[in-house]
Amino acid sequence: MNRIGCARFRTALLPLVAVAWLLAVHGRSAAAEDSGGSGTALPAAGANAAPIAPYLSAGVALIRPRETRFVDGADAGHAALYGSRQRFDAGALDDGLRFHLAAGVRLPYRLRVQLEFGMARRLDWRGNANYRASGERQPSEATLDTRQFLLVGFHDFPGWEIATGRRAQPFLGAGLGITDYRLGGYVQRFPEPDDPQGSLRRGPGGEVPFTALPGGRGRNFTWMLTAGIAIAVGGRTHLDLSYRYTDAGKIRTDVGDIAIVRYGEDGARREIPVRIDETSAAYRTHALLAALRFEF
């Protein structure tokens, strides 16, 4: 959880406060309904008097990161890679899979709390930089690995019966935690410069000049909102289908040397190291999660 400013922290908490307020209001309403003496509340619907039950959950999410851009990060006293707000590397991570494991407990008043772990490997970044005189196509690539630890609270709504003894229950949830990331293999290439015979000329074998950036790793404060539906599939087993929006802060390249690879008029390959400040990009994702939840 590095470089998290107070203003950003307060901004991130606003949607969580709104959801908590909604759940609290609904919880009080549900409690009043279930204790109204009508005797119509069914244990299968997750009534307030339902016993506490621990559970395990496992699943996989299809994640779709939002489009973002790498820009100059914090000034550490070295050269800035882009040097202007008009210069950046714009793109997005490809869709990928994140695997989820969770341990939780079902509580009265249709509440659930779980501690979960998520992991995504080899997410591919695809972008396009916009340096001056370097052409329209300046493709970039990198890979990202993430691990995520969240404490998540849920509220299950009464739902409806879909078959004898089986119910479907909508739910809302919100979570807080950290995301551990590792960024590597970050390369920007220049295949079509404005001047093909200038400083970005190709090598004697058609080699494309490129710039290799330092990797990066760190931990960020993370918040998540979710909405979904739980379907009873038999006994104490539920299939949870949900949408998630996650804000995992910023991913950064470390302060370090970039390798500027160019080719001279004689075809000689030159590698020029230049020490630069960090660069950073926001990491926010949409995801569809399918998980099996086993109560004990």
Q: Residue 171 in contact with residue 233, Cβ under 8 Å?
A: no
Q: In the predicted model, is pLDDT for residue 24 greater than 70?
A: no
Q: What is the pLDDT of residue 49?
A: 57
When pLDDT is averaged across residues 120-143 and rounded to a whole number, the result is 97
Residue 296: which of 105, 16, 75 has the closest Cα? Answer: 105
Distance of CA 191 to the CA centre of its chain: 31
Alpha carbons 41 and 120: distance in angstroms, whole number: 41
Sequence ranges of the domains in the chain:
6-35+52-295
Domain 6-35+52-295 has CATH 3.20.20.70: no
Task: Name the token pair of 208.
Answer: 């494309």
Q: Residue 264 in contact with residue 272, Cβ under 8 Å?
A: no
When pLDDT is averaged across residues 248-264 and rounded to a whole number, the result is 97
H or E stretch covering 144: strand 139-156
Q: Between the CA of residue 38 and those of 33, 62, 65, 244, 254, what are the distances in Å?
A: 8, 43, 47, 36, 63
| Count of helix runs (H) and strand runs (E) in the chain | 1, 14
Q: In the predicted model, is pLDDT for residue 99 greater than 60?
A: yes
pTM for this entry: 0.81
